Structure formats: structure tokens, C-alpha cells
Amino acid sequence: MKKLLAGSALALIASVGMSQAADLTCLITKNNTNPFFVKMKEGAEAAAKEAGMDFQAYAGVTDGDAAPQITAIENCVAAGAKGILITPSNDSVGPALIAARAAGILVIALDTPLADPEAQDMTFATDNFEAGLLIGQWAAATLGAEAANAKIGMLDINKDNISVDVARDTGFLKGFGIEVPNLAVMGSETDPRVIGHETSQASVEGGVTAMENLLAKDPDINVVYTINEPAAEGAYQALQTAGKTGVLIVSVDGGCPGIANVAAGVIGATSQQYPLDMAAKGVAAIAQFAKDGTKPMASDGLTFFNTGVNLVTDHPVDGVPSIDSAKGTELCWG
């Protein structure tokens, strides 16, 4: 019943009770080491068990490599899956997903939508623009009148205008009160308070290098936006090395190491997303589809199903709803 996987780059993480292919749901992530994806797998597997569905989870080895994901999609189609949940490595997986949909399979993108709307039935994700908006509003309110004289460094993933990167980046700027002429392109703002955008590759090491580059442009940077908490950790290390104190660092993700850095004062505020819920709700949607053909609907006013976000900070400000690091620790992952 189950087609053998091709290539060592693809790992079959879990296979539970493959006796009824008609009730199979598949999860395909970029890798099986990132805590975000590990938590997704945990949520999807538990939800599939509760729904009485068979479950397979696949993962590639490196981000950005679509070939293993395409192989996984083909295996899920061959196994008769009713639904596929996927965190797409890039848009080149689109044709395989379109073929899966043509075969009657419900396709749900997790976290990141594909550019081709025909490649997925729905996206289940954090509202990444809202996540950025919250940390921007918090930073501006924390600075108060000094926000008018802020010097802001932006640590993005890279220059490729990845949808998650763009949404968080532009959301932060809008929340801070900076005009963004083109919400689909990073760096379209002309406000002199933005010192520059640097590539961090969403990693600690990349965060160090990006922060060093920004400090070379302006050593008086006092606000740092980071795409995620590893980049924030790298930025903090570079600031410490440079002898810089009192710099506001804000971020997005809500993993347990990031929340610990909020509690320690390394990160002033972070927007917490919920990968377990993302995957569990996706499986529930597939179970409903398998039962009666009902497809999931987008949240009101959005083009995707919003799985929620909370601002986490131990220094709340008026007008920006938040939870503290203790509550964030209860809800964190990784």
C-alpha cells in the first residue's frame, strides 16, 4: 500500500496504523529538528489519533530543498491520503500539490502560504502582520516621545521577500508608526529612523553578523527588530560585545528559549505563535473533510485561517494587550 521513499534526504518520522488509507492524513515539514516543526508533528499526531485517522509525517533535512517534499507529496497521494499538511520549502512544490488536489486530497499549508492559490485549499497560520504590529506598537509605546528619534535596525531572514518575513517586518514598522508604501516588499519605507535591513538567516550566527553590520552603519541604534528569537539572541550578543546597553529588542516566535530571554530581559517583547494548534486544527479540518467533504474557511477579514498570536512581555504598556513571561512559558514550545 505504501510507496517506498526515494532518497536519504527524506525521513519518515511516524507511521501509525496504515490499515485504512482512506483515513490517512500526512504532515510534511521542512525538517525534523526545528522545535517549531517538532511541535507541529506532536500536535498533528495527537489530533490524528483522537480523530481515529492514520498518520504519516515526513521531513526533509535542509530548509529550501523542495525535492524531498515533492517525493513526500507523491507518496501521500499513492497511499490514498485524505489530506496533506505542509510547511512548503518553496513554491516549487506547487505543481505536486495541485496534482494532489486534483486527486481529491485536501491540501492545507501550515505557517506559510504558497504563491499559487491553486496549490492549497487553505492556509492555517499565525497572522504574521499582526505579530509584527504588536511588537511595533509595544516598542513605540515603551519609548514614548523618544520614538520620534528612534534609530531602528531590522534583522530579516534575507532579501527574498518571503511572505512571513515581509508580513512581520512591515507589521512592525506600521505598529511603530512608520509609513510603508508597499506592504509586499521589505525596505520600501523611507523614514530616516530605519537605519537599514540586514540578512540574519533567522539564526543566532546570522543575527550576530547582521547586528555588527547595522552597528557599523550607525552605532547609536536603540531599537532592534528581529524576524525570530535566534536572530534576537545573536543581535544581543553583538550588542554586548560592542558595549551597547539599553537597546530595545523585539521579536516573533514564542519558543521556550525565546520566552526565557524575555524573562531575562534579553528580549523586551515577542509575539508568540502556536505551531501545535496550527497542526492540530489542520488535522481536525482534514477529519471533517474526510467525513462529509466540508472544506475549511478563512477567518473573518483574512485570506487564511488564523491560529492566534499573543504579545509576551514583562513590561506591559497601555493599549497593547499582552501576557507575561510566566504565561508565555506555559504556552511555549521547544
For residues 110 and 98, membership in a common domain is answered with: yes
pLDDT digits (tens, 9 = 90+) for 226-278: 999 999 999 999 999 999 999 999 999 999 999 999 999 999 999 999 999 99
Task: List pLDDT tens digits, range 169-228.
Answer: 999 999 999 999 999 999 999 999 999 999 999 999 999 999 999 999 999 999 999 999
Same domain as 59, residue 145: no
List % helix, strand, coil for the chain (3-state, nearest 5): 45, 20, 35
**Percent of the chain whose predicted confidence (pLDDT) is above 90:** 86
CATH of the domain at 70: 3.40.50.2300
Q: Evaluate whether residue 94 is within a structural domain.
A: yes
Q: How many domains does the chain have?
A: 2
Instruction: Say whether pTM exceeds 0.95.
Output: no
Identify the DSSP state of 105: -
Question: 175 and 318: one domain?
Answer: yes
**Domain range spanning residue 110?**
11-125+275-296
Q: Are 50 and 191 found together in one domain?
A: no
Give me the pLDDT at residue 271, please.
Answer: 98
β-partners of residue 156 are 199
68 and 215, same domain (yes or no): no
- Say whether both 148 and 99 belong to one domain: no
Residues 241, 244, 245, 249: what is their CA dihedral angle, to the nearest 10 degrees? -90
Same domain assignment for residues 71 and 50: yes
Q: Which residues make Cβ contacts (< 8 Å) with residue 14, sequence separation at least 6? A: 41, 45, 55, 56, 57
Do residues 92 and 189 both lie within one domain? no
Residue 304 falls inside a structural domain: no
66-125 tens-digit pLDDT = 999 999 999 999 999 999 999 998 899 999 999 999 999 999 999 989 989 999 999 999
Query: In this structure, are 176 and 316 located in the same domain?
Result: yes
The alpha-carbon radius of gyration of the chain (Å, integer) is 20
Q: Given a cut of 50, is residue 21 above it in pLDDT? A: no
Note whether residue 303 is domain-resident: no
Sheet holding 194-199, edge to edge: 194-199, 152-156, 223-226, 248-253, 269-272, 310-312
Say how far apart CA 90 and CA 87 lie, in whole Å.
Answer: 9
Please indicate, yes or no, whether residues 40 and 91 belong to a single structural domain of this protein: yes
pLDDT at 4 over 60: no
Q: What confidence tier does 64 reach under pLDDT thresholds 50, 70, 90?
A: confident
Q: Does 10 have pLDDT greater than 80?
A: no
Q: Look at residue 5 and tell me whether its pLDDT is greater than 70.
A: no
pLDDT of residue 241: 98
User: What pLDDT score was predicted for residue 286?
Assistant: 98
